[in-house]
Structure 1
Amino acid sequence: MNSLVSQSDLFEIPGGVTYLNCAYMSPQLRSVTEAGREGVARKATPWQIGSDDFFSGVETLRERFAALVGGDADGVAVVPSASYGLSLAASNLAPATGGEIVVIEDQFPSNVYPWTDLAARTGGNVVTVTRPDDQDWTAAILDVVGEATSVVAVPPCHWTDGTIVDLRAVSDRTREVGAAFVVDGTQWVGAAAIDVDDLQPDFLVTAAYKWLLGPYSMCLVWVHPRHRQGRPIEFGWVNRDGADDFAGLVDYTDLFRSGARRYDVGETANFVLVPMLTRALDQLLEWGVDRVAATISPLASAVVELAEPLGFVAPPAELRSPHLVGLTLPEGLYPKQLASQMAESSVHVSVRGNVIRVSPHVYNDLGDIDRFAQVLSETVG
């Protein structure tokens, strides 16, 4: 797969700034910023906003996300956050009394709290897979999933260091034991390929402001057909059957709009954020996720190659994601202090746990990685 040349001109990153922190929050595409400006300006002339506008833009957004993840637009719900989407998933799953809900150690809290709540409400038990010494999350998860498992809720890669979970293997195992399979794709979707038609998760939840290059307060959820008759979190008007007929809104109905639309958050049409996210997904689809991954992966590998001689330790190549890598520090160094010192030199990374997390994107090139290595060497030296 051919990689992309640096796409930095499409972003607004100033010269002299080395931003290697997409896993924290992506920079904004110029086109996305412009879409936001246009969206803000629309409300200055509300007489130009028709009833169809409350639905047409959202339907386009569903189509774009479905194309990105290999699903159908009818299965896409528009919500404000990963925690909302995962809470939606938890509220529509019914584990057996005493059933086990499997998560992994130090999983992002948005993918933990809904499950601890579900366990408390249903008499279930949250089982946390301990971080394996060999960093093979997949084997560790498969060892835990069994006949007592009701739900497995995991990410494609660990958010702190990029160690991967083989979703194909976990999906197969959940089907064997009859467990639900929930994926928090926030640190994966947009940077690497995923196919819901192949994996068949019950829910795939993806916040927009990281690898989807979208705005904050947007999240997209793909819902398996078997859950599209479930109970929404909100009971408003916009997710009801016939909502597009404004003259008939007081003809109250218990029926919902088709597919996953019943799960949409209120004020779904958000005339600022929906166009921004749609524009971001348009760009990702134009590039192609495979090309995005082919561009980022050599940069992440170069990070490891240049950091290891300085005493930093990365997960094994076969167990780390192509876009996000955690570097464990040598003895005597402190992650927060190191990241702060690097930021003073305009090299931006994250601290997560006891590692420095480095996450490049298509706006980076090998010159950025060399700059990272230079500042890292100067900081630890």
Structure 2
Amino acid sequence: MDCQRKLFDIPDGVTYLNAAYMGPLLKSAAEIGEKALRKKLTPWDLPISDFFGPPNRFYELSAKLIDANPDDIAIVPSVSYGTAIAAKNIAVKSGQNIVVMADQFPSNVYAWRELAENSNAEIITVPWPDDGDWTSAILNTINDQTVIVATANAHWTNGSYIDLVAVGKKTRTVGASLVLDLTQTLGVVPFSVKDIDPDYMVTGGYKWLLGPYSFGMLYVAPRNQGGKPIEESWITRKGAEDFAKLVDYKDEYEPGARRFDMGEKSNFINVPMANEALEVMLGFGIDHIAAYLKTLTDYIAERARKIGLNVADDKFRVPNLIGINFDDGVPEHLPKVLSDNKVFVSIRGNSIRVSPHIYNDKSDVDRLFDVLESAL
């Protein structure tokens, strides 16, 4: 594929290399959202089918994205919501341990800290590996007392790669549960639940998936679909489509992961926008997107090394996200110089985190390094 900047409302003077912070909406998704917003002006024209049809399409598209069944998908507002569901449904005993990475994003940490405290279990934090090999570091930490491995496909600060096939295999070997936050890779790095077999996988949709804020997806493995939800919503119960009989209360849920849906999952604005973004990305093909983004991050690595800056070895990073590392920390003046020149990246620890998407090309990388070289 080639650069798809035309699908976005990004001015010519802006170099936006910060999808890991917030992905811009597609112009087509914004138009759909605007039309959906106006529906609320005339609620008498809102059909009951809108409560169910668009969410059902979201399940179908999300399932295609991860090689799952639509019944395995739940709609959630955030990663923390999804990890809270996992934490509520995984039995943890005194003396067991929960494995997380150093500096892991907090949405996939806080629930485990509380669970460990309430269960008299231990949080084991895998330290930053000196050689950049997070996979080996995680595998060497998992032991017979591990009950949960909570991780990602890449470290959110700099794109360091984790081999989830290997981690999933080791997790199953010790009888632990695998809980994944794929917010920084899903949609731009190929992923299949059939290859990795997580117990739970959650992602926010507002970054790489180019969707709206406060809207994401949760995969729940079939073996865990009999668990307890956080909410007891009317729309997750069997027969909810029949509004005339909603007070004929039912204990039975809709099948699959539907019981874990958030309340008001039918959000008439967010769902259509999320669906449009998924349609577009699936249309390009995740393999093609990953290959395209790798050409950009490889170029970033090449340019960084030429001016004496460090990046992770190619084998230890994902295709969509790269950290440019400064041994003594990012110079204090650099963030302002970049933003003043309308070059937008993130500063994370001792790294500049650069995260291109399908609206970027090599000219954006050249612009980034023009500014860096003049400022350093």
TM-score > 0.5, shorter chain as reference: yes
CA displacement at 1:234 relative to structure 2: 0.7
1:184 aligned residue:
181
- Structure 1 runs (4+) deviating above 6 angstroms are none
Are 1:64 and 2:77 an aligned pair?
A: no
Unaligned runs of 5+ in 1: none
Letter in 2 for 1:127: I
CA displacement at 1:38 relative to structure 2: 1.3
Asked if 1 retains the 8 angstrom alpha-carbon contact of 2:72 and 2:222, the reply is: yes
Question: Number of residue pairs matched?
Answer: 376
Asked if 2 retains the 8 angstrom alpha-carbon contact of 1:95 and 1:124, the reply is: yes
1:337-348 alignment to 2 at 5 Å? 337-348=333-344
Question: What RMSD over aligned residues (CA atoms) do the two structures have, in Å?
Answer: 1.0
Asked if 2 retains the 8 angstrom alpha-carbon contact of 1:336 and 1:351, the reply is: no
* Secondary structure at the counterpart of residue 123 of structure 2: strand
**CA–CA distance in 2 between the matches of 1:330 and 1:12?**
36
Are 1:9 and 2:6 an aligned pair?
A: yes
Asked if 1 retains the 8 angstrom alpha-carbon contact of 2:100 and 2:125, the reply is: yes
2:323 aligned residue:
326
1:39-54 alignment to 2 at 5 Å? 39-54=36-51
2:350 aligned residue:
354
Query: Which range moved further: 234-243 or 134-143?
Result: 234-243
Asked if 2 retains the 8 angstrom alpha-carbon contact of 1:80 and 1:265, the reply is: yes
* Secondary structure at the counterpart of residue 58 of structure 1: helix
**CA–CA distance in 2 between the matches of 1:154 and 1:113?**
13
1:174 aligned residue:
171
Are 1:244 and 2:203 an aligned pair?
A: no
Letter in 2 for 1:103: V
CA displacement at 1:336 relative to structure 2: 5.3
**CA–CA distance in 2 between the matches of 1:336 and 1:21?**
19
1:274 aligned residue:
271
**CA–CA distance in 2 between the matches of 1:325 and 1:65?**
26
Question: 1:320-343: CA deviations, max 9, x gaps?
Answer: 111100111254x63553122111
Kindly tell me: are residues 40 and 344 of structure 1, through their superposed partners in 2, closer, same or farther at Cα, counting changes over 3 Å?
same
Letter in 2 for 1:359: S
TM-score computed with the length of structure 1 as normaliser: 0.97
Query: Which range moved further: 335-344 or 105-114?
Result: 335-344
**CA–CA distance in 2 between the matches of 1:311 and 1:160?**
20
**CA–CA distance in 2 between the matches of 1:334 and 1:198?**
38
Asked if 2 retains the 8 angstrom alpha-carbon contact of 1:311 and 1:329, the reply is: no
Letter in 2 for 1:38: K
CA displacement at 1:250 relative to structure 2: 0.7
* Secondary structure at the counterpart of residue 235 of structure 2: coil
CA displacement at 1:132 relative to structure 2: 0.8
Are 1:376 and 2:368 an aligned pair?
A: no
Letter in 2 for 1:41: R
TM-score computed with the length of structure 2 as normaliser: 0.98
**CA–CA distance in 2 between the matches of 1:334 and 1:163?**
18
Aligned-residue identity in percent: 45
**CA–CA distance in 2 between the matches of 1:296 and 1:255?**
45
Letter in 2 for 1:30: K
